[in-house]
Structure 1
Amino acid sequence: MSQGFSGGCLCSAVRYQSSVGPQVVGHCHCVDCRKSSGTGHCTHVVIPEEAFTVSGEVKFYDRPADSGNIVSRGFCPNCGSAVYSTNSGMPGVVFPRASSLDDPEIAKPQMIVFASRAPSWDHVDPELPAFPTMPDGGPRQVIADSN
């Protein structure tokens, strides 16, 4: 998929563009994604950082992941919407939240990570490859290995 996409926060103070389509899309059920989303998981779109531009003020909250890598979660300081994140262990990659997409239909989940932490009430799609934690190499490696 090569078509770009756009998105932003609830109040439109933060807007972003991607010049490429999603490289990988996945659900994450880790505790931090659950707590930062206010529900059972986050759905992340994976794109190269060089294809991503953002306008407006973004505030970041940094927290170590289970791996020790720092995950920086970007949100709008005005409306509080989660917009995108980065991970120090995956340089050159940006993870826009599918919930912030202008057209959420472009996000076609391909995998589930931290499935072992999914609450019983948050349905895990049995059609998707599911990993109990984050697989070695991260989401891009899993998709590359499956092709």
Structure 2
Amino acid sequence: MTVRREASCRCGALRAVCEGEPVRVSACHCLACQQRTGSAFAAQARFPADRVTITGEARVWTRVADSGNTTDYSFCPTCGSTVHYSGGNFPDAVAIPLGAFADPGFPAPKFSVWEERKHPWTVVLGDDVEHMD
């Protein structure tokens, strides 16, 4: 049986249903992710776009990175939660913030990126995580 996971915003109006396992689960310490989350890092899961079904109204904000790549962030116009984003280095995938799944059993990150921006007091990820600057 295929795994089915559902993510949503805080008020429940914007949802993403993901079929199967994520192709990548990562923690990112870049300044843009810190600003997006209001935290010291972000954790997200990426799924192939054809395995994600989005329902509900979303507003979109597009960020242009220093590289010139663009990422479209979709958030709930009522509660403001980012539920999914796409583009950037993974144009064929949809990223979902792990907190949107509200599932403490969600698979742990296997990648930690932008570590040169990591706060020295940030939580330590498991020994099986690939650390990338």
Common fold by TM > 0.5: yes
For residues 89 and 115 of structure 1, the distance between their equivalents in structure 2, rounded to whole angstroms, comes to 17
Q: 1:39 to 1:5 in 2, by over 3 A?
A: same
On the 8 A contact 1:115/1:124 being kept in 2, the answer is no
- Indicate the structure with greater helix content: 1
The one-letter amino acid paired with 1:95 is: A
Deviation at 1:103, TM superposition (A): 2.1
Amino acid at match of 1:19: E
| 1:40 and 2:40 are equivalent in the alignment | yes
CA RMSD of aligned residues (A): 1.5
Identity of aligned residues (%): 28
Aligned counterparts, 1:29-108, within 5 A: 29-108=29-108
Judged with a 3 Å threshold, the aligned counterparts in structure 2 of structure 1 residues 124 and 116 are, in CA distance, closer, same or farther, namely farther
1:17-67 Cα distance to aligned partner (Å, 9 max, x none): 011121110000111100000001111101000000011111111111232
TM-score by length of 2: 0.90
Give me the TM-score of the superposition, normalised by structure 1: 0.82
How many residues are paired up? 131
Query: Which consecutive unaligned segments of at least 5 residues does structure 2 have?
Result: none
Unaligned regions of 5+ residues in structure 1, if any? Answer: 133-147
Deviation sequence 1:3-26 (CA, Å, 0-9, x none): 121110000011110111211100
Conserved 8 A contact 1:3-1:19: yes
